[in-house]
Amino acid sequence: MKYLSTRGADQLLSFEEAVLAGLAPDGGLYIPEHIPQLPADWQTAWKDHSFVDLSVEVLSLYVDEDEIPRPELRALVEKSYSTFRHPDITPLKKLTDSTYVLELFHGPTFAFKDVALQLLGNLFEFFLKRRNQRKGPTEKPEKLTVVGATSGDTGSAAIYGLRNKANISIFILHPKGRVSPIQEAQMTTVTDPNVHNLAVQGTFDDCQARFDIVKALFGDREFNATHRLGAVNSINWARILAQTVYYFLSYFHLRRQLPDPNADVEIQYVVPTGNFGDILAGYYAKRMGLPMGRLGVATNANDILARFWRSGAYEKVDSSSPAGQSEPAAGASDGKQGADASGVKETLSPAMDILVSSNFERLLWYLAFETAEGADLAERQRKAGATIADWMGKVKSDGRVQVPVAVLELARRDFFAERVSDAQTLETIKYYFESEHYIADPHTAVGLCAARTVASQNPPNVRQIVLSTAHPAKFSEAVTRALQGSPSFDFERDVLPAEFKGLLERERRVIDVEAPDVELVKRVIEKYVVPAVGQVGASV
Ligand SMILES: *Cc1c(COP(=O)(O)O)cnc(C)c1O
C-alpha cells in the first residue's frame, strides 16, 4: 500500500514515509492509494477478536508485510494498548435499549487521543530504531524532536505517547497558569528525561501566540533540519488508522449484547467532532465494508461542519447569519463567552473548539474523486488532487469555498450533522445522570445530544453508538455545573478516578519561558534536546 497527498497524486510514499512526514510538502494530507476491502470471511473470522487482534488485522490491510512484518506489528500493537486500564481497551456500554456509548477514555490520560498516540509513539520509535540500525558507524543517527502547543486538553496524550521513547524528544508549550489544575498536573508530572513542558508566560489574552511560535519553528528551515521537527497533530495518517479499529470492535460487541445476535439492526455512529479525525476513521471503516448507517457529525458552537452539511459551503465565518456569527454559546463560562480574535468560540467542550477542521480535507478528497470524470483511476486521482488544492486555496484566501451540489449530495449520503449548544450540553449531562445514572463528559454529551435529536426520525431497528471521548473527571467544571442541583451527585465519589487522587501533589518538571518568544523557545529546545543514540545497545 502506498500513500498520496490530497493535493497532488504524483508522488507515492510508503507507510513509514507518510507517518514520519505527517503533512505532505504541498500542504496536503496523506491518504492510502485505495481503500482496502474486508476479507470475505471477516464476519466470522474476526467476531471474537480482541482489540489487539482486530488492530493487527485492520492495520495489515494498510501496512505491507515487508514494511512491518506481522509479528512485529503485533508486538507494537500489544505494547501500545498494554497501557490501557480496561480489558476491552474501548468498552461498549449500554445506556438504553437503543443507545450505547463507546468509551474511548481508558488510556493513560483518560481521553480518546491515547488510542492513536500510544500507537504513534511506538511507530515513531520503531522506524527510527530501524533506520539507525541500518546506518554505517560513521553516519549520523536520526532523531525526532516533537514540538506542539496545547491549551490543556490534548498535550498530555502526546506526552504519554512519546515519554521514554528512544531518539525522540518532546516539547509541549502551555500557557502558564491558564490550564486546569488536573490537566497541568497530567502533563508536568511526567518526569522522563525526554519530556519537556514549557510554561509560557504572557499577560495578554491571545491563545494564538503559542501556536504561532510552533508554526514559526516549523517554518525555520535551518532549525527544522537540525532538529528534525515532528508534529503529532491529528492529521498524521497513523492516528486515523489506529482509530478505525474501535468501530470494528464495537460492531461485534454490540451484536453480542443484543438479545438476538442475528437481529436485523442498523448501527448509527454519532461522533463528537472537532478536527474530523475520529469520525473520519469511521468513514474508512464504512468504506472498507463495515455495515453501518449514516455517520453523525456532532459539533459544538464551532459549527463549520454542521454548516457545511446544511449549505455545501465550507466557510470559517457563518455568512448566512446577520452578524456573520452564529448565536453565542449559551452557557459558556462567565466572562469567557463568545469568540477570540481568531474567531474560535470558547465552549464547554474545548477539545472541539476549532475554526477549520483539519482532517475534513481527506473527506473532501474522496468526494472530489468520486465526482471527478476521467478515463482511469490515475486521472481521477490527479483531478481530485487539483480540486482539493483549489478548494483549500480558496479557504485560505477567501475564508470559504462552495462545493458543487453533487459533492454535497454525496456527503449527505454518508453523513448527517448536528450542532449542540453549551446549554444543551449541560442539559444532556444532567439528563443521562438522572435517567441512567451515567456521567458523561461535555464532549460525549455533545454526541449524546445530537444522537437524541435525530433518534425520533430513526426506524426502530437503529441502534446508536455514541463515541465517548473523555473521562468526566477531565472536565470537572462543566460536569459539576451540570449536576450541582442533583442531590445524589458527589464529584469525588462518582467521578474522580483513583489515578487522579494525589496527582496534584506529585513531583513536577516544568521549564518557565518568560515571554511568548520564538528565540526563547529555540534556546530551551537546544539546551534540552536528547542527543540521538546510534546503534542499538550502545550505551549513553
Ligand atoms: C480531540 C477530541 C475530540 C475531537 O476529535 P477530532 O478527531 O478532532 O474530531 C473530541 N473530544 C475530545 C475529548 C478530544 O480530545
Q: Is the CB of 469 under 6 A from ligand 1?
A: yes
What is the C-alpha separation between 329 and 345, in angstroms, rounded? 8
The answer for residues whose C-beta is within 8 angstroms of residue 218's C-beta and 6 or more apart is 147, 224, 229, 231
Ligand 1 center–CA 301 separation, angstroms: 14
Closest Cα to atom 15 of ligand 1: 351
DSSP-derived 3-state class of residue 299: strand
Q: Is the CB of 111 under 6 A from ligand 1?
A: yes
Pocket test for ligand 1, best of 349, 443, 476 (most atoms within 8 A of CB): 443
- The whole-number pLDDT of residue 340 equals 61
For residue 514, how far is the Cα from the chain centroid?
30
- The whole-number pLDDT of residue 191 equals 94
What is the C-alpha separation between 32 and 425, in angstroms, rounded? 36
What is the C-alpha separation between 231 and 228, in angstroms, rounded? 10
| Atom number in ligand 1 closest to CA 280 | 7
Ligand 1 center–CA 272 separation, angstroms: 7
Closest Cα to atom 2 of ligand 1: 351
- The whole-number pLDDT of residue 339 equals 60
DSSP-derived 3-state class of residue 142: coil
pLDDT digits (tens, 9 = 90+) for 394-445: 999 999 999 999 999 999 999 999 999 999 999 999 999 999 999 999 999 9
| Atom number in ligand 1 closest to CA 243 | 7
Closest Cα to atom 8 of ligand 1: 275
- The whole-number pLDDT of residue 540 equals 31
Pocket test for ligand 1, best of 239, 241, 278, 303 (most atoms within 8 A of CB): 278
pLDDT digits (tens, 9 = 90+) for 183-220: 899 999 999 999 999 999 875 455 667 778 888 888 88
Taking a C-beta distance cutoff of 8 angstroms, is the pair 145, 527 a contact?
A: no
What is the C-alpha separation between 275 and 238, in angstroms, rounded? 15
Q: Is the CB of 351 under 6 A from ligand 1?
A: yes
- Catalytic residue, chosen from 2, 93, 94, 113, is 113
| Residues of the chain below pLDDT 50 | 204, 324-337, 534-540
| Torsion angle defined by CA atoms of residues 423, 428, 429 and 432, in that order, rounded to the nearest 10 degrees | 160
Identify the CA nearest to 331 among candidates 460, 203, 155, 449: 449
Ligand 1 center–CA 165 separation, angstroms: 24
Q: pTM for the full model?
A: 0.93
Ligand 1 center–CA 336 separation, angstroms: 21
For residue 89, how far is the Cα from the chain centroid?
17
Which CATH architecture fits 239-490? 3-Layer(aba) Sandwich (3.40)
Closest Cα to atom 11 of ligand 1: 469
Residue 5 bridge partners (DSSP): 8, 30
Ligand 1 center–CA 11 separation, angstroms: 30
Cell of 84: 490501557
Backbone phi, psi, residue 488, to 5°: -90, 5
Q: What Å distances lie between residue 432 and 95, 99, 100, 255, 491, CA to CA?
A: 8, 11, 12, 23, 16
Query: Is-catalytic flag, 113?
Result: yes
Ligand 1 center–CA 234 separation, angstroms: 9
* DSSP per position, 352-399: G--SS-TTHHHHHHHHHHHH---SSHHHHHHHHHHHHHHHHHHHHHHS
